[in-house]
Structure formats: structure tokens, C-alpha cells
Amino acid sequence: MADQSYQQKKTEMESAAEVSKELKRKKRMKWIVYALAFAIFQTIVILVFSLTVMRFKNPKFRVHSITVQDLTASAPNPPSFSIKLNAQVAVKNTNFGHFKFQNTTISFDYGGVGVGDALVAKGRSKARSTKKMNVAVELNSSNIPNNSSLQVILNQGYWK
């Protein structure tokens, strides 16, 4: 009888140990599921944030100020002008990261016709800031057709 009582207690203990192991395994699985759900949630939040708030925007190139060094204009037929100037060009970066740009050219047009180009050296604009640079520009009217409104503008004195 004592042997049977001992066997019963042993079976109960083994059964309790098995139940305990099963409970631990279930707890572990539950925590793994929670961790995976949290990781998926974080991934979705980061993805939504990066697609809405952190999206890349093209920087803006602007001419801030111009200093005229030499200006020559004539209104007789054909009208012409030649201008040498220094321009302060700004690269406004609205992104949260820096922006590197290569050597580039800024074109100046009159009536859809190119009258000059400015060469901008490569550089880097810091995050959410504006980088200012000075460039030399030479503009001339050699490409403008004779039948344009340039003669009217020069006769009215807009260039003086």
C-alpha cells in the first residue's frame, strides 16, 4: 500500500512537472507572439512615418541677389546687351538629411531663349538649411532673334 501511495505521488509529481513545462512553453510562445506583433507594429509605424513626414523633397535653387559689374546695351537695329554680374545663388534643402550636389549649370533665359549660364561648383547643403554661393555670370543677347520685344524694352530704358 505504501508502494502504491508512493507511485501515485510520483505520477502526480510527474504530471505536475509536465503541466508546469507546458505552462512555461505556452508563456514563452505568448511572449514570442507579443514580441513579433510589437516588431510588426513598429515596422508599420516607421514605414508610415518615413513615407509621410520624412519623404525626400528636391532642393530649391534660387538667385538671392545680383551685383551688376558691367552693363552695355544698345537699342539700334539689331538691339543687343552684354551684362557681367555676380549672383548669390542659394540651395535651400528642406530635407532632414544633407544633400550633396555635383557641378551644375544655372541657365538664364529671355523670352525662352538662353542668354547666359552660371556654373555652380559641387557642394553640400546641410539638413534643413540654405547654402549660399557666389557665381559669376555673363549674359548677352547674341542668341535672341531680331524680331523680339528686346528693342522696345531697351528703348523704354528698363536696362538703364
Q: Which of 37 and 155 is assigned the larger pLDDT?
A: 37
Residue 145 confidence (pLDDT): 81
Contact 63, 133 (CB under 8 A): no
> pTM above the 0.75 mark?
no
pLDDT of 37-70, one tens digit each? 999 999 999 999 888 877 788 888 888 899 999 9
Residue 69 confidence (pLDDT): 94
pLDDT of 118-127, one tens digit each? 998 999 999 8
Is pLDDT of 160 > 70?
no
From 20-24, 57-61, 97-101, 150-154, the region with the lowest mean pLDDT: 150-154
Q: Taking the domain 60-156, which CATH number applies?
A: 2.60.40
| Sign of the torsion angle spanned by Cα atoms 153, 156, 158, 160 | positive
